[in-house]
Structure 1
Amino acid sequence: MIDLKTIDDLARRLTSLVPPGLKDARADLEQNMKATLQAGLGKLDLVTREEFEVQRAVLLRTREKIDALERTLAVLEARLAAQDSPSN
C-alpha cells in the first residue's frame, strides 16, 4: 500500500495549487485531502513493490521452465517423427 508520507506529499502538492483567496482554508483542505486520498487508495487492490517483485521473479522462473519444456518437447517430437518415418 502507499505509505502515509506519500499521501502527505501528494496532499501538500494539491493544496499548493489552491488559489490565493482560499489560502486561509489551506490546513483544513490539506487534512480533508489526506483523508480522502487514504480512503480512496484504501479501497484499491494495490500491492507493495516487494510483492510485485516477488511475483515478477516467479513469473520469470515459470517462463524459463516453459521454454525449457518446449525445447525438450521439440526434441522428443523430432525423435518420434524419425522413428515413425520409413527407413531408406
Structure 2
Amino acid sequence: MIDPKKIEQLARQVHESMPKGIREFGDDVEKKIRQTLQAQLSRLDLVNREEFDVQTQVLLRTREKLAILEQRVSALESRAGNSGSSVIKTEDIQ
C-alpha cells in the first residue's frame, strides 16, 4: 500500500499550489484532496518500493536456480545420450 505520509505530502503540495482564494477554505479542501488521492491511488494495484525490491530478489534467485537446473538437465541428457539409452527431452515434460 502507499505510504500515508506520501499522500499527505502530495495533498499538501496540491493544496499549496491552488489559488489563494480556494486555499482559504483551509483544512476541508486539503482533507478532501487527501481523501480523493487515497481513493484514486487505492484503485491502482500498486506495491511499495520495499515489496517490489523483495520480489525482485526472489525473481533473481529463482532465475539462478532455474539456470542451474537447466545445466544439470543438459548434463544428464548428454550422459544419457553417450550411454545409448533413450532420453526424455525437457520439452516432452509438460
State the Cα distance separating 1:43 from its structure 2 match.
3.1
TM-score where L is the length of structure 1: 0.73
State the partner residue of 1:58: 58
State the Cα distance separating 1:29 from its structure 2 match.
1.8
State the Cα distance separating 1:12 from its structure 2 match.
1.0
Structure 2 Cα separation of the partners of residues 58 and 22 of structure 1:
48
Structure 1 Cα separation of the partners of residues 62 and 7 of structure 2:
35
Instruction: Return the structure number with greater relative CO, CA threshold 8 A, min gap 6.
Output: 1
RMSD: 2.1
Structure 1 Cα separation of the partners of residues 8 and 38 of structure 2:
10
Deviation per residue, 1:17-69 (Å, 9 max, x gap): 21234332243221110111122223333333333333222222211110001
* Percent of residue pairs identical: 48
Q: In the alignment, is the contact (CA less than 8 A) between 2:15 and 2:30 conserved in 1?
A: yes
Residues 1:33 and 2:1 aligned together:
no
Query: Which runs of structure 2 are paired with 1:1-88 in the superposition (5 Å)?
Result: 1-84=1-84
Structure 2 Cα separation of the partners of residues 48 and 20 of structure 1:
34
Structure with the bigger percentage of helix = 1
Q: In the alignment, is the contact (CA less than 8 A) between 1:18 and 1:26 conserved in 2?
A: no
TM-score where L is the length of structure 2: 0.70
Unaligned regions of 5+ residues in structure 2, if any? 85-94
